[in-house]
Structure 1
Amino acid sequence: MSGWGAAWTTAPQPPGAGFGPNWSQEGFARHTIRQTVRLGIGGDTLRVRLSNRYGTAPLRIAGLTVATGAGGAEVKPGTLREVTVAGDPAFLIPAGADLATDGVPFRTEALDAVTITIYLAEPSGPATYHTQALATTYRAAGDHLADHGGVAFAETSQSWYYLGGVDVDATAGDGVVVFGDSLTDGTGSAPDTDHRFPDLLGRRLVGRAVLNQGIGGNRVTVDSAWLGERATARFQRDVLDLPGVSTVLILAGINDISISEVAESSPFPQFAPYTEVSAQQVVAGHRDLIRQARGAGLRVVGATLLPMRGSAFSTMRSEAERAEFNAWILGSGEYDAVIDLAGAMGEVLDPVHDSGDHLHLSDAGYRAMAAAVDLSLL
């Protein structure tokens, strides 16, 4: 099957403590994991992309199924399909590798919920995951690949495990990747509602996939054990390697200029290292991302950094660095197009748009953010 297009994605991260309880460090053994994702476009055939990118040993998948989600850990009867790799229902993913399954006939429409169930019979070791799914993942002891009901799935997590994406048969090749940090990842939005910025933008861009490659806390210029590789390093695998993409929207840099303002004695140990980064260093990082995107033939759109006044990260220095960076975005002409999200959202977040920390948005804020995008620029 050729002509794949990414219909849903997430950015893999190294196992770690993250922002909440998760199973990434302990891994799995004789567990079934059930995860539901919502597709941006539909098709007649799909495949699942899995990741052992940060594993230290081969990952043995004992079985994998897909089905139509029916809410919670339940799936719609009659929709379960076995998924294989090279025709084999059990397969191995080497350490450090990503893998795409065989295609399976499975009719979907845009915004359909697809449930992916993975059975791991042998100890997996620490798991490649995405810490902030803002969606419920379910775990059961033993093999429950074929269960339609959710009774066995008594344990829950708010992270995704081993998932990289879902592709469908598509020929348009006009997907849009939104690449960034927590404001892309959806911090502040209600779990299990798909109210992240890329989700809401995708509902406006009918017929095109809008793909979320945000990682909360991620930085353009600094690697972090908890917050992922720096944006310039992960851009190839998290954007350029995706099938069926034509445009990337980059909203990134607020963490570079603000995390160094958080003292090491703060309640945010996951933000270490506290590397001081200037606006000009963030600009250099964006120039690298622009170069990489254009080298792959993608249209590249930049977005100004949203307000953070009143947040734990707002200081005279960080506000000045943010203003300097936004002036470059708006005035340099280096991007193919610019979306002034800062101008649309204001210098201080409207209380209706504020999740409560004066940095991340509420559901209403993400709706306003998506509504501010001129679709013709994408």
Structure 2
Amino acid sequence: MFTTVWTASPQRPSEGFTANWSQEGFWRQSLRQAVRLGAGGDRVRIRLSNAYGASPLRIAGATVARTTRGAAVEPGSVRRLTFAGAASAEIPARGEAVSDATELTLDSGDSATVTLHLDATTGPATFHAQAFTTSYRGTGDRLEDVTGEGFDEATESWYFLSAVEVSAGRTDGVALFGDSITDGFGSTPGANRRWSDALGARTGRPVLNAGIGGNLVLNDSAWYGEKGVHRLERDVLAHAGVSTLVVLHGLNDIGFSETDEQPTYVPAPVVEGDELIAGHRELIRQARVRGLRVIGATLLPFGGSDHWGERAAKVSHELNEWIRCSGEYDAVADLSRALADPADPDALRAAYDFGDHLHPNDAGYEVMAEVVAGVL
């Protein structure tokens, strides 16, 4: 029995927040990506997504290995992956592929490195914009490259890889569902200091990160993914071993209409509290149908940020009070109160503020993990 121990929610190719390779795609190159696992096992397999591909995606070859540092992998740990017994695979447009399992012992907290050889033109690549860790590419077939020296380009996004599964047989996984705060914006890149990482370390349970920076509950975005009420099935419910869903979502629905600094925010619908509450109810409904326990997390304070304004204050207060008091969630993680400035409950405490008055820093993410661990 396999358990999903790492995920990245697929996004359509876009400029995203920082430079990436999604729009140009890949050709006659190898792509190497290291991901931190939420549980261990002695067999591993991967899922690859071509959800936003306009044509079939050819995978000429794939390997998995234990990560050492950067693009280097542990000698002797490289395992060839197959797909239905074949060394290569073709993934149809809007489809996905699951590799066969291969024997490789990995422990909870280990990093696994997945390398893909892409010998044919991929076209624009399905990706996850904000990885907060480094991915690499190099020319030609570098599946067996142990030193990593042939990987001479780097980016902070993930491409095609949407999940890693191990033979853990666990059913106590926790999925975190939300936007850039769940994704880990403001945490130290390359250090695995997102709140999903902190929660996994505290609880010993597999924690899946289903955040997308800029994502909304009620509306699609060209850069920031399909709306939450549509993507929950693919990004959480379809994964094996998840028993609990934590929802921290809605801040962008509220705040995007307060700012004009990003072109993708315009036009940004003005969302009222009852609309956002209806969206949360739909997320709860979908999760309960699948037998999940659902925890509601209050939105963090964001006073003073570019998302703040009189209407944003009103709607965020309405949503947070509903999460706290309605009884519709199975439990509540009151992150708003835990991270608020004692002198101003609408603002993040300075010690937890990444600097934009919107996203936490590493210390803030640790506090979030502590609060959620207390209600799991």
1:213-228 equivalent positions in 2, closer than 5 A:
213-228=210-225
Structure 2 distance, partners of 1:100, 1:281, is 37
Determine if contact 1:119/1:145 at 8 Å carries over to the other structure.
yes
Determine if contact 1:11/1:130 at 8 Å carries over to the other structure.
yes
What is the deviation of 1:365?
1.2
2:247 to 245, 250, 268: 250
| RMSD (Å), alpha carbons | 0.9
1:32 to 20, 24, 30: 30
Gaps of 5+ in 1: none
Pairing 1:12–2:6 present? no
1:324-339 equivalent positions in 2, closer than 5 A:
324-339=318-333
What is the deviation of 1:374?
4.0
Match of 1:269 in 2: 263
Determine if contact 1:246/1:299 at 8 Å carries over to the other structure.
yes
Match of 2:234 in 1: 237
Give the number of equivalent residue pairs.
Answer: 371
Pairing 1:284–2:282 present? no
Determine if contact 1:224/1:273 at 8 Å carries over to the other structure.
no
Determine if contact 1:24/1:161 at 8 Å carries over to the other structure.
yes
Structure 1 distance, partners of 2:57, 2:270, is 37
1:77 to 62, 75, 78: 75
1:315-354 equivalent positions in 2, closer than 5 A:
315-346=309-340, 347=345, 348-354=347-353
Structure 2 distance, partners of 1:64, 1:198, is 27
Q: Deviations over 1:93-124 (max 9, x none)?
A: 11101221100011010000100000000000
Structure 1 distance, partners of 2:170, 2:136, is 34
* One-letter amino acid of the counterpart of residue 107, structure 1: T
2:21 to 20, 23, 40: 23
* One-letter amino acid of the counterpart of residue 34, structure 1: R
Pairing 1:306–2:300 present? yes
Structure 1 distance, partners of 2:355, 2:146, is 39
Structure 1 distance, partners of 2:168, 2:265, is 39
Match of 2:189 in 1: 191
Determine if contact 1:232/1:288 at 8 Å carries over to the other structure.
yes
Q: What is the TM-score when the length of structure 1 is the normalising length?
A: 0.97
Structure 2 distance, partners of 1:280, 1:197, is 28
Structure 2 distance, partners of 1:66, 1:374, is 31
What is the deviation of 1:372?
2.1
1:297 to 291, 298, 315: 291
* One-letter amino acid of the counterpart of residue 315, structure 2: E
Match of 2:145 in 1: 147
Q: Secondary structure at the match of 1:358?
A: coil
